[in-house]
Amino acid sequence: MTAAYSGWVIAAALLLALAGIVTAVRDRTMGVVLLGGLALLEVALLVQAGIALSGIGHVREKATFIGYLAGTLVIPPAAVWWGMAERTRWGPGVIAVAGFTVAVMTGRLMQIWNGAA
Amino acid sequence: MTQGEPQVRSGPGRLLVAVYGVFALAATSRAGVQIATKFAEAPLAYLLSAFAAVVYIVLTVALARNNRRVALAACSIELAGVLIVGTLSLADSQAFPDATVWSGYGSGYGFVPLLLPVLGLVWLLRRRRPAA
């Protein structure tokens, strides 16, 4: 994992969370922008997982690390599914939660990667 | 689910299900790793972590399945847990050498564990009145 790449992932996830909040405040349902954003985020997370797994020997707490990694990959698809099911402003609300969660989890991944507890 | 019964899971409820789902996942994996790798270091804290994880799982499922009664009970237990464990962790830090989700009223998680049960109870009770 590289700090530069994961920094961008965190920024993108937070941006998506912000877009979700804005959409919810404007009382809109999930649209193309949020859907595309989630898809892009998932691709970015898959790349991140590839980078991380190629250097997994470096990590001491492997179980925790892989758990977080898998968690980040599951969240965007779950958010898409929920955004489609909930056709009110609360759909984008869930997407905001998803974006924020991915940002926090990526931050934790960086900490574990760098050897912090 | 009978017709006309107010939905617990849709609307704002869906947000609660999402957040509780994240916490259920986080607490379960944390407790699992703690108990599997270093249980002897802080048995009480780790058992409480596991208990918190179970409460979060029950809440997620109960909310998602529109089971208001179970959700209310679990929410109350959660609130009591946060308050009791939070107070104990500050009063007797010896017993809690390692953090749980509920230590310091959930300060390690941005106090979300303290806020969640309150929001959950507000949501569950608010929807009861306009049931007719």
pLDDT digits (tens, 9 = 90+) for B48-86: 889 999 999 999 999 989 898 999 999 999 999 999 988
Mean pLDDT for back-to-back runs of 10 residues, chain A (117 residues)? 89 96 91 94 95 88 85 93 87 93 92 77
Q: Which residue of A has its CA nearest to B99?
A: A117
Q: Does A29 touch chain B (CB under 8 A)?
A: no
Q: Please tell me what DSSP assigns to residue B127.
A: T
Identity of the residue numbered B60: T
Interatomic CA distance for residues B97 and B89, integer angstroms: 9
The model's pTM = 0.82
Terminal-residue alpha carbon distance, chain B: 15
Interatomic CA distance for residues A42 and A28, integer angstroms: 23
Interatomic CA distance for residues A3 and A27, integer angstroms: 36
Lowest mean pLDDT among A54-58, A110-114, B23-27, B94-98: B94-98
Residue A17 CB neighbours (<10 A):
21
Calculate the CA B106 to chain-centre distance.
Answer: 11
**pLDDT given at position B94:** 73
Q: Which residue of A has its CA nearest to B33?
A: A64
B18 contacts on A by Cβ (under 8 Å): 82, 94, 97-98
Instruction: Identify the band that residue B132 occupies on the pLDDT scale cut at 50, 70 and 90.
Output: very low
Of A64, A88, A94, the CB nearest to B18: A94
Q: Does A90 touch chain B (CB under 8 A)?
A: yes
